[in-house]
Amino acid sequence: MAEKDIQFLTPEEAIHRVFADLVETTNDWFDVAFFARVYGFLTMGKARPGTFKKKGADGTKLGIWYQGPGMARESFIDKRDFGSCAAPLITKLKDRPDDIAKIYEWVMWVKAIPGKGRNGRPGILVETEMEKFQCTQCAHCCQDLSDAYSTTVDIEDINRWK
């Protein structure tokens, strides 16, 4: 069996990937429920997916109902505001590698554990599962997707992968 492909991520890289994924894909109930789980965990509050209809307004908004520690009532956070809610949490998370690894596992569906990089810097180690992938092409873009976005792959392929 092939050796596991492990990638080291700094806390900043891991957090950025998690929140980019969570905030980018809030189009349905499942995504909103997932954001509620992560947001509630990180803030040590209670969050649940829900809807809100303002009196006299057309349509219902999808988002989360949130009650933080010490708050008497829940408040509604529209899904369009998830990015601004997540941004302040990023700086607070840097020194919590256990929590970063746990959230990374939830969101990315891969195994992640706290660890250190080659230079001794703390972060998380992610099992990418690339050892299971059998490329039928050059394998260049799969191993370095940042390069795929900038030089190697057509935009049609990138859209198909998303």
Q: What is the mean pLDDT of residues 70-99?
A: 84
The answer as to whether 123 is a domain residue is yes
pLDDT at 148: 45
Within-domain flag for 66: yes
Q: How confident is the model at residue 155 (pLDDT cuts 50, 70, 90)?
A: low
Is residue 66 within 8 Å of residue 47, measured between CB atoms? yes
Answer whether residue 140 is part of any domain.
Answer: no
What is the number of domains present in the chain? 1
Interatomic CA distance for residues 61 and 30, integer angstroms: 15
pLDDT of residue 135: 67
User: Could you tell me if residue 153 is inside a domain?
Assistant: no
What is the domain extent for residue 72? 6-128
- Please list the alpha-helical segments (H only) found in the chain: 11-24, 29-43, 82-93, 97-108, 140-143, 145-147, 155-161
pTM of the entire predicted model: 0.66
Tens of pLDDT along 106-141? 888 889 999 998 888 889 999 876 666 666 666 565
Tens-digit pLDDT profile for residues 60-84: 888 999 999 999 999 999 988 887 8
Is the residue at 147 inside a domain?
A: no
Does some domain include residue 154?
Answer: no
Number of helices (H), then strands (E), belonging to the chain: the values are 7, 6
Predicted confidence (pLDDT) at residue 51 exceeds the cutoff of 80: yes
83 inside domain: yes
Q: Report the amino acid identity of residue 62.
A: L
pLDDT at site 106: 86
More confident: 140 or 34:
34
